[in-house]
Amino acid sequence: MTYSRPIFAVAPMIDWTDRHCRYFHRQISRQALLYTEMVVADAIIHGPRDRLLGHDAAEHPLALQLGGSDPAKLAEAVTIAEPYGYDEINLNVGCPSDRVQSGTFGACLMLTPDTVAECIAAMKRVATVPVTVKCRIGVDEQEPEQALPELITRVLDAGADAIWIHARKAWLKGLSPKENREIPPLDYQIVYRMKQRWPDVFIGINGGIRTLDEAAAHLEQVDGVMLGRAAYQNAAILADIDQRFFGAPAVEPDWEALCGRMMAYAERHIASGGRLQHVARHMVGLFTGLPGARRYRQILSTDAAKNGAGPEVLAAAFAAVDFSGTEQEAVSA
């Protein structure tokens, strides 16, 4: 992983960007940087490591997002994760959920920038890949023009290699995680100002970005752009990423080949004791805007959830879609 070029990333999303989601996204874009769900340091130290950290080699470039506030535990988690070959380690300083706050990490760490710096310094001492931070512009009554530069200063002094900024405040009390993704107003300009203040530091932007045109506009101001729900709910948007942002040759998406690869992947997962639904649930939004997309969604939402469902359900779902619609209809819907 190198932060010397523009980067397009798919955001870490709890309960969404698991290994099956990432494998699926990688079949559509070869270049986008993918993130794991947040994994708590304590879980890595004491829990099922292979289940938490294992991934398919095809997922790279791949970043591991950690949650925690104890420098020693985070350093231990980084050391444990080392053999799994992640391309980046990211510290979550942005998640506002109650279960994250109860562990004194996530967005509430915006209130203690010195603690974040200590965590980054400890992680850097043992990491062999870039260590980055994903944060908000502030929390609660904080003044972002003060809180955000203070955090950035601390973590850069501690050795952070890049900063990803979700351009909203987080309200630790009174708003649900869903509301925290929608209600606090977006402030992209403050992220731009941080890039102007630190021109030699990689600064990426996240929050409310819905289209590739919006992403391209942000990349005129900052170094990286990160899509979350837009990429998950309409994964076809990823089909144009490699050509548009990474200079790859323009190619028409081969949906039949994608179906075949996902069927083979699902077959391996089922053979290892998993269920088709674990894979299929991430694919439901793929063909938004194309004729047959509704039937496609119905098949994946119902048939894939049945006991004993096999890869042939994916074939039936793909067969319901009319691909005579233009690629642009699927990508821009």
Helix orientation angle between 255-271 and 312-319, rounded to the nearest 10 degrees: 160
Please indicate if the annotation marks 206 as binding a ligand.
yes
Query: What span, in angstroms and rounded, lies between the C-alpha atoms of 192 and 263?
Result: 43
- From the list 95, 108, 135, 259, the catalytic residue is 95
Active site residue 95: yes
Element at 163 (helix H, strand E) = strand 162-170
Query: What span, in angstroms and rounded, lies between the C-alpha atoms of 319 and 272?
Result: 26
- On whether the CB atoms of residues 264 and 57 are closer than 8 A, the answer is no
Please indicate if the annotation marks 228 as binding a ligand.
yes
Q: What is the DSSP string of 184-248?
A: SPP-HHHHHHHHHHSTTSEEEEESS--SHHHHHHHTTTSSEEEESHHHHHTGGGGGGHHHHHH-P
- On whether the CB atoms of residues 39 and 238 are closer than 8 A, the answer is no
Please indicate if the annotation marks 68 as binding a ligand.
no
CA distances from 105 to 111, 277, 294, 295 (A): 10, 31, 40, 42
Please indicate if the annotation marks 282 as binding a ligand.
no
Query: What span, in angstroms and rounded, lies between the C-alpha atoms of 117 and 157?
Result: 8
CA distances from 187 to 91, 195, 229, 241, 311 (A): 22, 14, 18, 25, 44
Question: In the numeric block, which tokens belong to residue 160?
Answer: 């952070």
Instruction: Give rounded-to-5 percent helix, strand, coil for the chain.
Output: 50, 15, 35
State the Cα torsion 185-183-217-328 to the nearest 10°: -160
Which residues participate in catalysis according to the annotation?
A: 95
* Binding-site residue positions: 65, 134, 166, 206-208, 228-229
* Binding-site residue positions for FMN: 65, 134, 166, 206-208, 228-229
